[in-house]
Structures are given as C-alpha cells and as structure tokens.
C-alpha cells in the first residue's frame, strides 16, 4: 500500500514539477512570478486534444506539437506583454501577468465552453503488476517522460552556452548584459523552455485524468508555485524536489482520509515551509550590499 501511494504521488508530483520549473526559471532571471504560466499549461493540454482529435497523431507527436505551440505562445507573451514593462515597477508587471492569465482562460472558455473536454485515447492503458504492486502504463509513461524532460533541462542549464548565459543572468542580468550576453534572447529562451515544459505537463495530465478544462490551470498553477517555493524559488533542482514532495503529500493526505482538504494540503505545506525555512528546502539566502 505504501509503495502504491508513492507511485501515485510521484506521478502527480512529476506534473507539478514540470510546471514549477517554468515559475522558478523565470523568477531566477527577472524576479517575476508569471501567474499566466498555469494557463499556458492549460493551452498545451487543449492543443494536445486538438492534435489527437483532428490529426490522429501518436503520443510523441502530440506531445511535441503541444510543446512547440506553447513555445511560440510563451515567447509571444513575453515579447508583447512583459518586455515593455521590464523596467516598470514590479506591481505593474505582476498585474499584467494576472491580466494575461484571465485573457487566456476567457479565450479558451469562449472557444470551447466552460465544460470539461475528454482527452481522446492516445495511449493504451495497461495495468502492470510487480508482486502485489499495481500501476498503469500511463503512470509509467508520465514518470519516464517527466524525468527525461527534467534531465534534458539540467543538461541545457549545466553544459550548454545558453545555459551558462542563463546562470550568469540569474546572478545579475545587468552585469551579464555588460559582459556581452544578449539578455533579451536569454529571457525569451527561458520563457520558451518553461512554456514547453508546462505544455508537456498539460498533455500528461490530460491523458492521465482523461479531462481538460479552461480553468484547469488555476489550481495546478498555484500548486506548482507552491512547489517552486517549497524547493526554493529560483532553484531548478528545488522545483523538481518541491513538485515531487507536494504530489506525495497530496496523495498521502487523500489516502489518510482527508480528500475533502486535498487542495488545502499544498497551501498548508507552503505556510509551514515559509515559517520554518523561508528560502525553501534548497534555496539560499540572498545577501545584498547596501
């Protein structure tokens, strides 16, 4: 029973981690909490539905199409809505992210209606057994895809030229620009990667729960933000860890009989972490000279 719940928790936590990575990367560079990020996850899920329903593509092409479309969407939002306000007061930019979020939700509600939409079958769901442990093939695919995407992100950040530029920009993007780094390109790339991961999370959740809706990004986005803060906002491994821990906490809370308070578990965990360790599990205090 314990192992069963751990698998369920890791499956859910992997989707939270994919969304949380977008929050933490953007915040790490420009100190912006992009509240529209959860809605990009929602758009990715709907694009996955459209690709399967209209073009009858397989899982991997569906995933790739949703990620590519959301890369374009994320970069466009950054270029049109966020970049002109980059030097404006932080409150202006924060309000803009909320406005973009409401716009995306309303647009999809008008386009598809407020009712949930079923995700067409794209993966054969087979029950796998290892001893007394049972899990579905869809859970296995979600875990493998999520881990592969996280490892790919770590490789990009640690071992590529653009990853080096991202790490330099996260330290001080004004100084990085003086060293010859194209900050606009780095920020656009960050939004592109974060949006692609969110789209992947949307497709995986749509397949797992066989349902997508225009407001699915609201709660998932807030929980992913909690996961990013839990692991240490601005810390990529922290976002992964926070997502997994949040998924485990939620599943074990439901298994213990607190299903009514399933959504409250995430925010209770956030309050506890902020009281005990404000920088998150893997975050570090930032020292600024005055």
pLDDT per residue as tens digits for the range 57-100: 899 999 999 999 999 999 999 999 999 998 888 889 999 999 99
Q: Please give the mean pLDDT across all residues of the chain.
A: 90
Nearest to 148 by CA among 61, 22, 240: 240
- φ and ψ of 54, to 5 deg: -90, -35
Above 70 in pLDDT, residue 287? no
Residues 141-197: pLDDT tens digits? 999 999 999 999 999 999 999 999 999 998 887 888 888 899 999 999 999 999 999
Query: What Cα–Cα distance (Å) separates residue 3 from each residue in 6, 11, 135, 283?
Result: 5, 12, 10, 29
Between residues 225 and 262, which one has the greater pLDDT?
Answer: 225
Query: What Cα–Cα distance (Å) separates residue 71 from each residue in 46, 209, 228?
Result: 14, 24, 21
Residues 198 and 205 sit within 8 Å (Cβ to Cβ): no
Cα angle at 225 between 283 and 102, to 5 degrees? 150
Instruction: Please state the pTM of the whole predicted model.
Output: 0.93
Q: How far apart are CA 168 and CA 160, in angstroms?
A: 12
Mean pLDDT across 201-213: 94
Query: What Cα–Cα distance (Å) separates residue 252 from each residue in 22, 248, 274?
Result: 26, 6, 21
Cα angle at 43 between 213 and 280, to 5 degrees? 95
Residues 271 and 52 sit within 8 Å (Cβ to Cβ): no
- φ and ψ of 57, to 5 deg: -85, 160
Nearest to 280 by CA among 250, 243, 254: 243
**Residues β-bridged to residue 128:** 135
């Amino acid at each position: 029973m314990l192992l069963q719940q751990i698998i369920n928790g890791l499956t859910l936590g992997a989707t939270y981690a994919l969304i949380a990575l977008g929050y933490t990367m953007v915040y790490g560079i420009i100190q912006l909490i992009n509240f529209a990020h959860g809605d990009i996850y929602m758009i990715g899920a709907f694009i996955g539905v459209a690709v399967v329903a209209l073009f009858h593509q397989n899982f991997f092409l569906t995933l790739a199409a949703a990620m590519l479309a959301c890369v374009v969407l994320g970069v466009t939002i950054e270029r049109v809505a966020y970049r002109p306000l980059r030097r404006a007061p932080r409150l202006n930019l924060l309000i803009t992210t909320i406005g973009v979020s409401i716009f995306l939700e309303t647009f999809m509600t008008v386009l598809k209606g407020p009712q949930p939409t079923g995700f067409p079958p794209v993966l054969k769901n087979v029950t796998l057994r290892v001893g007394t442990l049972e899990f579905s093939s869809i859970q296995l695919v979600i875990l493998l895809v999520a881990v592969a995407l996280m490892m790919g992100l770590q490789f990009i950040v640690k071992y590529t030229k653009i990853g080096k530029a991202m790490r330099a920009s996260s330290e001080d993007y004004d100084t990085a620009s003086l060293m010859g780094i194209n900050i606009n390109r780095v920020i656009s790339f960050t939004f592109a990667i974060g949006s692609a991961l969110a789209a992947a999370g949307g497709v995986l959740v749509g397949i797992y729960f066989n349902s997508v809706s225009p407001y699915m990004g609201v709660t998932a986005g807030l929980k992913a933000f909690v996961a990013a803060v839990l692991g240490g906002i601005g810390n990529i491994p922290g976002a992964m860890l926070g997502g997994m821990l949040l998924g485990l906490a939620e599943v074990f809370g439901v298994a213990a009989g607190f299903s009514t308070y399933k959504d409250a578990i995430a925010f209770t965990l956030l309050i506890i972490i902020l009281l005990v360790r404000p920088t998150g599990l893997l975050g570090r205090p930032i020292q600024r000279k005055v």
